A and B are shown apart, each in its own frame.
Chain A
Amino acid sequence: MSADPIYTEMIIEYSRNPSNFGKIENPHIHRHDSNPLCGDSIDLYVNVDGNKITEVKFDGKGCAICMACTSVLTEMIKGKNLEEVKNFKKDDLLSELGLEHLIKTSPVRIKCALLSLKALKYGIYSYFVDKMNDTEAAGNLKEEAASLY
């Protein structure tokens, strides 16, 4: 195995026991996304109160990297303000799991790691645009999501 580990204890553990796994009925934000080439497929559900994220859940199927990163993302955004979450960067998520090296070492697996962040950014974008009618608040989230990987 190479110097940059992927399958750490933490990742295996999260993939076995994902956090916030499940579904929210009629959520404020719902986004489905998938990586067609590798088969990761998730649904992200978010409820907000005013600007604050009160509840996050996800379900779906994916590899260990996808499951672990999605779990960590849900943990990170719970209780945060949408404004804060909007500005989340790739590294904010990847560094939580020690996966920053994937950006350079594995253009394939980085998609597994960032699928949930992409879904989240798209989800918040459509929440602002479609539900709140606030394109200004949505900013360039859509472009950002599209160019994550």
Chain B
Amino acid sequence: MQSTTYSLDSIRSDFPVLERKVRDNKPLVYLDNAATTQKPIQVIDAITDYYKNHNSNIHRAVHALAEESTEAFEATRGKVAKFLNVADTREIIFVKGTTEAINLVAYAWGRDNVQKGDIVVTTEYEHHSNIVPWQLLTQETGAELKYIDIDENGELMLEQLDEYLATGKVKLVAVSHVSNVLGTITDVKEIIKKCKNADAKILIDGAQAVPHMKVDIGNLGCDFYAFSAHKMLGPTGVGVLWARKEILEKMRPFLGGGDMIREVHKYETTWNDLPYKFEAGTPNVADVICFTAAIDYLTKIGMDNVRNHEIELTKYALEKMSKVKGIVIYGPKDPEKQGGVISFNFKDVHPHDVATIVDKNGVAIRSGHHCAQVLMEKLEVPATNRASFYIYNTKQEVDVLIDSLDQVAKVFKL
């Protein structure tokens, strides 16, 4: 790690679970970070501290604990805004995760702005959470859903977007910033430019981007941006939807209930101000507050250092993996063009057999369709294996993975 204040050893010592032994006393090698990351002691302590000392509902009561909790909750909103270079904290809406954020847009914006004959564009490498809400929306409204295909390097064929935009019917383009399977980093700047020219809105699924690289929403120019806390050292059950204030103000609420109202009468209700209009019910107070500790942790390390560390590990892993017998690696295969995610298969060996064999060595990788069945169809495989890295992973851990993969080749006589 390039940081002056943080060594890899000191980072690792902040993560209690990394001391664990699994499967016949093997040290845990956790390479499933694209699914969820482990939590540093700072985040774990923050959760305990909250419930021990501050627990209260927020935004309503005037007693001391309620004020402390409300203040801490809103402080996280400020932290998130600063982390993403967002000037107006009212544009930060807390939800339970990326999936809910995208659904919020599909329901609260989509139902009023997408009609029969319109087009919604997504891509072949989306997570189901950025496909299914648009299927529901287009099926309900009679609009059309179009896909930007990927080429053999796992990169988007953006000329297809030009064709769609040229029809003048595209209302929304929904694309992930970094593919959760291939790791491909999307050229979002280029897509945003194209969308602006065609007057189409753009939503970015940043679940695999915000945890791993500097994301400057203030200067990006998109309309909606979604991500989850648990993929960046934070607790589960917390996600963020960022959207432009002008758009949020015109949108109808997503869920109705407490906290999102100004006045409720028998037959009519006026909405609360942003962002509360979109935060009905008691939010996930404890976990939102503890998300602060995760953002602080990443800020101290520095997102450029996080990215550089992952580039280094990905480069190292790609080099070594390409020499494993019988392996097929998907995606760009270029550490500069992808996040710390490598998807691969062995010829004729099912990914679950691969995952089981490496698991015996204590290595946690993911096998399956990664909630990206459209992409699996494109790759013509039922599933892939995926190793994904984060700030605490080491080259030695990559070596354990490689040894395990060699073992797979041996067991299956490749």
CB within 8 Å of B: which residues of A? 1-2, 6-7, 12, 15-16, 37-41, 61-66, 106, 109, 112
- Please encode chain B, from 34 to 51, with 1 for each CB lying within 8 Å of some chain A CB and 0 for all others: 000000000000000000
Would A12 and B412 count as touching, CB distance under 8 A?
yes
Would B349 and A64 count as touching, CB distance under 8 A?
yes
Known contacts A63-B350, A112-B352; A39/B357 CB under 8 A: no
Tell me if B353 counts as interface (CB < 8 A to partner A): yes
Would A38 and B352 count as touching, CB distance under 8 A?
yes
Known contacts A38-B352, A65-B353; A7/B411 CB under 8 A: yes
B409 shortest CB reach to chain A, Å: 12
Partner of A64, one of B353, B368, B382, B383: B353
List B contacts of A37 (CB < 8 A): 368
List B contacts of A109 (CB < 8 A): 352, 356
Interface size class of B (residues with CB under 8 A): 20 to 34
Would B353 and A41 count as touching, CB distance under 8 A?
no
Q: Which of B351, B352, B356, B357 has the most CB of A within 10 A?
A: B352
Known contacts A2-B23, A16-B348; A39/B360 CB under 8 A: no
Partner of A12, one of B24, B356, B407, B411: B411
Q: A2-B24, A12-B411 given. 5 additional CB < 8 A pairs?
A: A1-B407, A6-B356, A12-B413, A61-B382, A66-B350
| A37 and B357 alpha carbons, distance in the complex (Å) | 18
B268 shortest CB reach to chain A, Å: 44
List B contacts of A39 (CB < 8 A): 350-352, 368-369, 382-383
Partner of B350, one of A1, A2, A62, A106: A62
Partner of B357, one of A7, A38, A61: A7
Would B357 and A64 count as touching, CB distance under 8 A?
no
Would A1 and B348 count as touching, CB distance under 8 A?
no
Chain A's closest residue to B413 (CB) is A12
List A contacts of B360 (CB < 8 A): 1-2
Partner of A7, one of B351, B353, B369, B382: B353
| A1 and B348 alpha carbons, distance in the complex (Å) | 21
List B contacts of A106 (CB < 8 A): 356
Q: Which of A2, A7, A66 has the most CB of B within 10 A?
A: A7
